[in-house]
Structure 1
Amino acid sequence: MGKKSKEVADQWQGLPKPPEKPSAAGTATEVLLNAFRISEIKCRHIYAYKATVVGAKRVPVAIKSELVKAAIGATDRYFVYDGGEFIFTPKSIIGKKDSIGDELKKTIPRLFGRPETMHQFEVTISMHRRYETKALKRYCDGDRSIPETYIHDLLFVLDRIFRVYPMIQLGVLGNTCVTEFEKIRTDAGFDIWWGFRQTVKAGQGSLFLSIHTKPVPVISGRTLQDMAMDFFRSKRVQSLEDLQIDDWRRMAPVLKNVKFRIPGSDATAWISGFSPVPASRVRIDGVPIAQFYKADIDTRLPCAKTALGTMVPVELCEVVPGQMLPKVSGYQQSQVFRFGSLSPQARQRITEHGIELLDTANNPDLKAFGITVSQQLEKFDARVLQTPQLKFRDDQAITPSHAHWQADRQKVIEGKQLVSWAIICFTNQRMVPQAMVSTFVNQLAKTCSKIGVQIACTAPPIRYAPMNCSIESEIRSACQAAETQSKVPVQLVMCVLPANSLARYGEIKRVGTTVVGVMTQCLLANNVRQGNNPKYTTLVGLKINTKLGGFTAGLQTHDMPGIDSTMVISADVNHTTEAGNMSVAAILSSVDLECRRFAGTVLQHPKKMEFIENFDVIVRHCLRIFYSKTKQKPKRIIYYRDGIGDSVLQTVKQLELDGIYKGCELIEPGYRPKVTMVIVRKRHHTRILPAPGQDLCTEAGGNGNCLPGTVLEQGVVNPCLFDFYLLAHASTIGTARPAYYMVLHDDSQFSVEDIQRLTYNLSYLYPIVPKAATMPAPVYYAHRLTGQGRFHTNIPFDQLSKFTGKRTDDVALVPVHRNLEGDMYFM
């Protein structure tokens, strides 16, 4: 077997093929996608060249394009230059038969720099690769004889060809084309424009142009003073004169690289920071700065400093409108989310405007390569899976409507009793009085009683922690007070926080999970003050019940295909920036036969590594826990793996699948259960929109999305793999994003219907909300555990460099406290 043939054989080894025909289960429907069919590519070949320009540092893209054009010379040789490294052409530009290594080198003189002087630019154009476009047609038809790396490279080439022309014609912010069409003015100092990101995808039978619409925060025309007030708004600053120089220094990273106009000229500059002293002490050429600019300014404020060191009074800095906000604060991010969440109908309207704006019908680059794109959103046949039936206490069973049910009308299938607990308020009594806390506790107890969770102690000890207190000391004191009152070991410590603070929240979780060994539940003071909100107290009650070992609902046996004597494993890797820039891996496994309870393991992971090391040892540990709880070894293992990109797909599959088999061998030689491995992705740009005339999700704030359970297994899915999109939840805000699933291995030979139904039905087992989750509950558990795992540091979390600015070495993760091993403390 040749090298190329072996490469092709290895890339598809063990990967299930797409189903020969789609499943007929469920109700037929039609959906629209944010994608447009690429109906034709006439050119037979696409030539890719590498372009190198040498002669000066940081040559602008416009000058690079001019130099490349001069080097190519002949105007009848059409080319597309991406402004960076590559040139693409439908015909050869060097010779009749270009081959790898062929070069075209020219020296071109041009004025450049400040002041402008003659530079000798050397432009080198070398042949990189020639691509055959017919390979795409074969791949879309399911031909597995083509190396997938070749297809990925060719799709990358088409992406660049599609993007160059609109990025020249339209406004560009980052790598996104933007438009003021239906722009939104916010009260946070910026406007929301709409950005369009084009991506070429290979689907079943055809290529598609996917257009992702996203909100882009753009600075409106205003002064630097206004932007500073927006930054300090959350800190209740009434006037900029109240600020110290250190306050401006903290704001510098937020406003860095914001462009503004230099007073008295048309020149512009970029902010690099602020002066370390007030304007009263700044002089330019020995002249006070107010006199230099001939302006009446407040000399108590600092000056903005440009990259060249020029000082400009803050009051005279007029920010240039139409530029992207360089860094978005928490409040500004909430505004982007609030105004930028589009309903499906609004997203369809703006996406259709996007295809007109990008002008694919008249794009000369596309015409040169003979590429034709449909101007209508693509419509596909889809199915809506049957909603599973949930069972609660006393054999009560309901079928959720639109993936939602009323939690206060059913008692949880397994309710626990809260006897020993305490409350710590990290606020002052004026902000949250003790009477207000007691009112909240009484409302929580009433709500929990309705849902089948008992709070035996309705007057727990309440402590008010002083500022800058030791969180460990406070939690230990609260535990001691609870045990003294109830005479039994403490079960829970509830913490009331004044505001969202990652540093304090992370330290509370670190102390509770790894030091003291007690469950913690954090609440915001604003929510405690609204103690008569039964919806909120219901959610808190469900979380407490789950942490204590209870569970909300179960699935009927007929709604769990292939789950008999089955262990479900889920895993995720989080490349955190808080815990010393390490990566955190989380692995969970079911410990019962009904897939309700899970035990988790958190591991410190080598930085940026995607696959999980020593997976066989971890699987052996999971199997031992499963056997200790069920007294049997699983016949099947279903492994859901979250967060894997295409570049490491085969590596992760090979290493972790082998790890599962080796882990089983460590339990007993010859023990080999059937393994199914499914990849789950949430970060993608595909959106499923309801087609005209189809049923919409309107109950429980469904916002007009497609019905929960909508599954798409044709069109934009991979033509050579077993994959599908599944919309499991009813989104109340914006357009619901489906999860993407790819079956990488399947010893059990599940039918299409069974793997889709099982995946969908498991999303109803997420116990802390009375609705279906966006993904199967085990996948969500892994995601939550990686988020909690970053708090398991060996030093106080609020003393990490992210929060103090001081370097912290030798940060490592420590294991969970023995009191919480096997518990779902991460919920």
Structure 2
Amino acid sequence: MSDERPVPKGRGAALLAALKRREEKEVGVQPPVPKTPEEPPKPRGRAAMLAMLKERQQQVVGQTPPKEVQEVVKPSKPVQEVTKAMSEVSVSEETVSFKGDHGKQLRISANYIRLECDPKRGVFEYEVRFEPEVDAKNRRMRLVNQIIREMGQVKVFDGGAKLYLPDKITDSQKVFKMTLPEVPDTEFNVIITFQKQKKMYDRDSLHLYNVLFKRIMHILLYTQMGRNYFNTHHKYLIPQHKLEVFPGFAVSVDEQEGGLLLCLDTQHRVLRQQNAYELLTELRSMDPKRFKEAANQSLIGSCIFTRYNNKTYTVDDIAWETTPRDTFPTRDGNNISFMEYYKKQHNLTIADEYQPLLINKRTVKVAGSAQKEDIMICLVPELCYLTGLTDVMRNDFKVMKDVAQYTRVTPAQRLMALKTYLKNIRESEKAQQVLSEWGLRLGSGTIDTYGRQLDNELIYFGGNQIGKPTNADWNRDVGNNKVTGPVDMINWIVFFTQRDRELARRFQDLMQKLGDVMGCRIASPKPVELPNDRTESYMTACKDNIKDSTQVVVFIVPSIRGDRYAVIKKMCCSQIPTPSQVVTARVLQNQAKVRSIVQKIALQMVAKMGGTLWNIKLPFKGWMVAGVDVYHGGQSSTCGFVCSLNETLTRYMTMVNFQDKEIGDYYKMAFTKSLERYKTENGTFPERVIIYRDGVGDGQLDYVKRYEIEQFSSVLKQFGLETKLCFIVVQKRINTKIFEMKREGAENPPPGTVVDHTFTRRTMKDFFLISQNVRQGTVNPTHYIVVRDDANMTPDVIQRLSYKMCHLYYNWAGTTRVPAPCQYAHKAAGLVGQHIKKIPDPSLSDKLYFL
């Protein structure tokens, strides 16, 4: 084993170089002194400082460190010199450029504002703890405010555990004894511990910036609900539906390729003018026998808002045996009832002492540890207001139309709201003071730059027919042309009730006529009339009529019912594996549109049986494209994995499995099966594998790099393949909005618009792509992050491939927001996780049964 110490890297190397240059200037270069092999190396410099701080945290304040500790942490130079040397060394992550050249240039802007900061200013970070523990956020804020006010400091404190000051108040730890007027007999120890010093332009300061703008939102009288901020004083009332809409913003600061930028996106929050207690009372009066069942269906999984702390919670359960009269243990070991707690902490009086409590389950970090624990939060229904829209409301055209008047915002309206926000900050002395105290200044408006529009794709149909879509829509072309991979429908069944007998007859007649247009032979189906609409009738009919030779089955149901749909899909996907199609009678009753509706159903059935509807031109061979997405619901998550099987990327293999965590841990098995199936279909393994991973947030990127990608790499190594792997994360839930700037003003960019600079991450290979056309409101771009690329493909190749893949989703004659494999994985995981709750039969894996 070598006695040499490893060569310092990163920040350690930079620090060592800075100290070496200092020594050369002062005394000249001296030859290194070799160490005795038996002598273990002692920590020096930054390592010694960390050891000292760790030891101090374990001591009682004021205690002198042991002699051996003093010897270990004794640096070769004074700490002041080491700290100064570190501050002179500029350490930053490498900037990554991922710009393409292909496409027509467009003038664009986005909802980003430049944030300029004074590089001479500093930030000192402290940890704040309270003894005894203080739960109410407003009390924590008031205690810290008293301390800072006495010291004459400016500060940033969000009520949590982090305090930021522009000056250093202690080198280690200080304890302040404070009281509150409402509890004069209780003395609180506020413990402030120094953590580290940061510069204003360090990436670690992003939390500070976001807390600063949180304060500015409160100064401008915005109320925080969840992560965003809303103007509760300027709400829109929709009394006919008992709804109210709060306008607001999503505000976040991040370091992008164009510098430190503030992202400001217009948001809306829909609240119902009804609390959970009123809903429970209403449900009890409607049907006392099914009260608990109806309450569980209405509340579990819904989002509620508590006005006393302006927080949102998800209802995970209802504790029917627990009431506000019950007690729970506090941190100091005592017991307190829920009624007493809300009276003491929030000065709220609960009227009904016997109402059940709502349960919110969440996972939190253990203080002073990297471990996490599950906790349950009990909420009182009469203090919880319902948010969002119910399924009944979403299916009501009038409700959605009235709500859309306030929530559907055009690009021009978004820019106007953004300018109004900037104007309010400029006119607010307090807001300007908050920024100036920390050396910050906001830009005067959004950042104008340029983007690119990729070429429109041609759609190829059967009979060598080519469609030229307008605005990424080829709905008319698909209705007039044959499909590329027809499948004859010879042995199929139609299930219906007596009331829908005539609709079923007309449906099968129209299906047979449309077969010639599609290029498929569609024979007359076997009609099966059900005696009633009970779920048992559907189960019995499936068992008695579906045979091994049955190609596809159609269910014409009187109405939408989740339990019936789940039974049908469970029977046809797990017990009697057969592609199935569920159609509501109301859809077939629209005589003006019935032909186009039935044609879309017929196309969907062909795709479910393994046929292909259209394709596009792909300038490569031997590539496999896969999609991954996770559905969250119930006790476990459902992960869908979909991979292509042919050269044209129109046939796919689907695998679904259950997992306990957000990050999948079964990819080895799924990827192994997909590679083996690909070789069976094509005679060889793929040369490249491109994986689009949906549903990953920024906080999970590192975990995906270390864990998920490693599973795919290990499979390739096991096969001994030289296949190149490209792993791309797809993010839909982003606040970035992109506008095309024309003479008439801001408009939605056309489909195919790519932005790969200025608003992208400085240290990542990423880009924004707008693949779909939106006629109303503002289009939402999709964020692509290339996490790994063994083939070192150019930005143009990855961007054009991603756009092409948005054209191959067979449930929509137009482009989708994400690549087709991602959308397929999303649909498969959702169907299994929400309705089937079992792994589908393997015989359906090469069919798009989930469309």
TM score, norm. by length of structure 2: 0.74
Contact 1:198–1:209 at 8 Å: present in 2 too?
A: yes
Q: Give the whole-Å Cα distance in 2 for the aligned partners of 1:553 and 1:17.
A: 41
Residue matched to 1:244:
288
Q: How does 1:322-361 map to 2 (within 5 A)?
A: 325-326=386-387, 328-332=389-393, 335=399, 338-339=404-405, 340-357=407-424
Q: How does 1:441-590 map to 2 (within 5 A)?
A: 441-457=508-524, 460-469=527-536, 471-479=538-546, 489-530=549-590, 532-533=592-593, 534-556=595-617, 560-561=618-619, 563-574=620-631, 576-578=632-634, 581-590=635-644
Q: Give the whole-Å Cα distance in 1 for the aligned partners of 2:385 and 2:427.
A: 25
Once the two structures are TM-superposed, the CA of residue 470 in structure 1 deviates from its matched residue by 5.8
Contiguous gaps of at least 5 residues in structure 2? 1-6, 15-92, 309-314, 322-347, 356-380
Q: Please list the CA deviations of residues 196-238 of structure 1 after superposition, one character each: whole Å capped at 9, or x if unmatched.
A: 1210021113111111222211345x89999789x77xxxxxx
Q: Give the whole-Å Cα distance in 2 for the aligned partners of 1:219 and 1:791.
A: 26
Once the two structures are TM-superposed, the CA of residue 445 in structure 1 deviates from its matched residue by 3.9
Residue matched to 1:36:
113
Q: Give the whole-Å Cα distance in 1 for the aligned partners of 2:598 and 2:423.
A: 48
Q: Give the whole-Å Cα distance in 1 for the aligned partners of 2:12 and 2:596.
A: 58
What secondary structure, in the 3-state scheme, does the structure 2 residue paired with 1:202 have? Answer: strand
Opposite residue 516 of structure 1, the aligned amino acid is I
Q: Which of 563, 588, 595 does residue 649 from structure 2 map onto?
A: 595
Does 1:371 find its partner at 2:427? no
What secondary structure, in the 3-state scheme, does the structure 2 residue paired with 1:822 have? Answer: coil
Q: Give the whole-Å Cα distance in 2 for the aligned partners of 1:720 and 1:257.
A: 38
What secondary structure, in the 3-state scheme, does the structure 1 residue paired with 2:646 have? Answer: coil
Q: Give the whole-Å Cα distance in 1 for the aligned partners of 2:127 and 2:735.
A: 29
Does 1:731 find its partner at 2:808? no
Does 1:624 find its partner at 2:702? no
Deviation larger for 365-374 or 243-252 = 243-252
Q: Which of 92, 103, 107 does residue 177 from structure 2 map onto?
A: 107
Q: Give the whole-Å Cα distance in 2 for the aligned partners of 1:273 and 1:612.
A: 32
Contact 1:35–1:208 at 8 Å: present in 2 too?
A: yes
Closer, same or farther in 2 for the Cα pair 1:778/1:64, shift >3 Å? same
Q: Please list the CA deviations of residues 494-539 of structure 1 after superposition, one character each: whole Å capped at 9, or x if unmatched.
A: 2234444433323322221111111111222321322552332232
Q: How does 1:383-782 map to 2 (within 5 A)?
A: 383-405=452-474, 406=476, 407-425=478-496, 429-430=498-499, 433-457=500-524, 460-469=527-536, 471-479=538-546, 489-530=549-590, 532-533=592-593, 534-556=595-617, 560-561=618-619, 563-574=620-631, 576-578=632-634, 581-605=635-659, 607-613=660-666, 615-667=667-719, 669=720, 671-693=721-743, 705-782=748-825
Once the two structures are TM-superposed, the CA of residue 188 in structure 1 deviates from its matched residue by 2.1
Q: Give the whole-Å Cα distance in 2 for the aligned partners of 1:308 and 1:75.
A: 43
Aligned length: 694
Does 1:205 find its partner at 2:258? yes
Once the two structures are TM-superposed, the CA of residue 385 in structure 1 deviates from its matched residue by 0.3
Q: Give the whole-Å Cα distance in 2 for the aligned partners of 1:7 and 1:541.
A: 65
What secondary structure, in the 3-state scheme, does the structure 2 residue paired with 1:118 have? Answer: strand
Once the two structures are TM-superposed, the CA of residue 333 in structure 1 deviates from its matched residue by 5.1
Once the two structures are TM-superposed, the CA of residue 466 in structure 1 deviates from its matched residue by 3.8
Contact 2:210–2:252 at 8 Å: present in 1 too?
A: yes
Contact 1:16–1:722 at 8 Å: present in 2 too?
A: no
Contact 1:173–1:324 at 8 Å: present in 2 too?
A: no
Contact 2:490–2:523 at 8 Å: present in 1 too?
A: yes
Closer, same or farther in 2 for the Cα pair 1:182/1:63, shift >3 Å? closer
Contact 1:616–1:659 at 8 Å: present in 2 too?
A: yes
Contact 1:513–1:792 at 8 Å: present in 2 too?
A: no
Contact 2:751–2:773 at 8 Å: present in 1 too?
A: yes
Residue matched to 1:172:
223
Opposite residue 693 of structure 1, the aligned amino acid is R
What secondary structure, in the 3-state scheme, does the structure 2 residue paired with 1:36 have? Answer: strand
Opposite residue 262 of structure 2, the aligned amino acid is L
Does 1:47 find its partner at 2:124? yes
Residue matched to 2:97:
19
Identical pairs, percent: 19
Closer, same or farther in 2 for the Cα pair 1:341/1:678, shift >3 Å? same
Closer, same or farther in 2 for the Cα pair 1:657/1:462, shift >3 Å? same
Contact 2:258–2:759 at 8 Å: present in 1 too?
A: no
CA RMSD after TM alignment: 3.7
Residue matched to 2:90:
none
Q: Please list the CA deviations of residues 104-134 of structure 1 after superposition, one character each: whole Å capped at 9, or x if unmatched.
A: 212123333xxx6532122112222321124
Closer, same or farther in 2 for the Cα pair 1:171/1:469, shift >3 Å? same
Q: Please list the CA deviations of residues 466-489 of structure 1 after superposition, one character each: whole Å capped at 9, or x if unmatched.
A: 424264323223425xx8xxxxx1
Q: Please list the CA deviations of residues 379-438 of structure 1 after superposition, one character each: whole Å capped at 9, or x if unmatched.
A: 22101000111211111112211101112122221222222222334xx644xx311222
Contact 1:495–1:523 at 8 Å: present in 2 too?
A: yes
Opposite residue 658 of structure 2, the aligned amino acid is Q
Closer, same or farther in 2 for the Cα pair 1:446/1:713, shift >3 Å? same
Q: Please list the CA deviations of residues 626-667 of structure 1 after superposition, one character each: whole Å capped at 9, or x if unmatched.
A: 111112222222222222233332332244433334323433
Opposite residue 386 of structure 1, the aligned amino acid is D
Q: Give the whole-Å Cα distance in 2 for the aligned partners of 1:498 and 1:6.
A: 70
Once the two structures are TM-superposed, the CA of residue 597 in structure 1 deviates from its matched residue by 0.3
Q: Give the whole-Å Cα distance in 1 for the aligned partners of 2:422 and 2:613.
A: 46
Contact 1:34–1:377 at 8 Å: present in 2 too?
A: yes
Q: Please list the CA deviations of residues 22-72 of structure 1 after superposition, one character each: whole Å capped at 9, or x if unmatched.
A: 32211110222122111334553212222223346533x333222112223
Q: Give the whole-Å Cα distance in 1 for the aligned partners of 2:319 and 2:678.
A: 59
What secondary structure, in the 3-state scheme, does the structure 1 residue paired with 2:655 have? Answer: strand
Once the two structures are TM-superposed, the CA of residue 757 in structure 1 deviates from its matched residue by 0.8
Q: Give the whole-Å Cα distance in 2 for the aligned partners of 1:225 and 1:188.
A: 18
Q: Give the whole-Å Cα distance in 2 for the aligned partners of 1:748 and 1:275.
A: 58
Closer, same or farther in 2 for the Cα pair 1:81/1:572, shift >3 Å? same
Contact 1:763–1:772 at 8 Å: present in 2 too?
A: yes
Contact 1:23–1:753 at 8 Å: present in 2 too?
A: yes
What secondary structure, in the 3-state scheme, does the structure 2 residue paired with 1:826 have? Answer: coil
Closer, same or farther in 2 for the Cα pair 1:552/1:111, shift >3 Å? same
Does 1:154 find its partner at 2:205? yes
Once the two structures are TM-superposed, the CA of residue 675 in structure 1 deviates from its matched residue by 1.9
What secondary structure, in the 3-state scheme, does the structure 1 residue paired with 2:97 have? Answer: coil
Q: Give the whole-Å Cα distance in 1 for the aligned partners of 2:736 and 2:519.
A: 40
Residue matched to 2:246:
193
Q: Which has the higher contact order (CA 8 A, sep 6+)?
A: 1
Q: Give the whole-Å Cα distance in 2 for the aligned partners of 1:674 and 1:780.
A: 23
Contact 1:191–1:218 at 8 Å: present in 2 too?
A: yes
What secondary structure, in the 3-state scheme, does the structure 1 residue paired with 2:599 have? Answer: helix
Contact 2:278–2:382 at 8 Å: present in 1 too?
A: no
What secondary structure, in the 3-state scheme, does the structure 2 residue paired with 1:555 have? Answer: coil
Q: Give the whole-Å Cα distance in 1 for the aligned partners of 2:383 and 2:740.
A: 34
What secondary structure, in the 3-state scheme, does the structure 1 residue paired with 2:113 have? Answer: strand
Contiguous gaps of at least 5 residues in structure 1? 9-14, 136-150, 233-239, 262-270, 277-304, 313-319, 484-488, 697-703, 798-812
Q: Give the whole-Å Cα distance in 1 for the aligned partners of 2:579 and 2:591.
A: 22
Residue matched to 1:801:
none
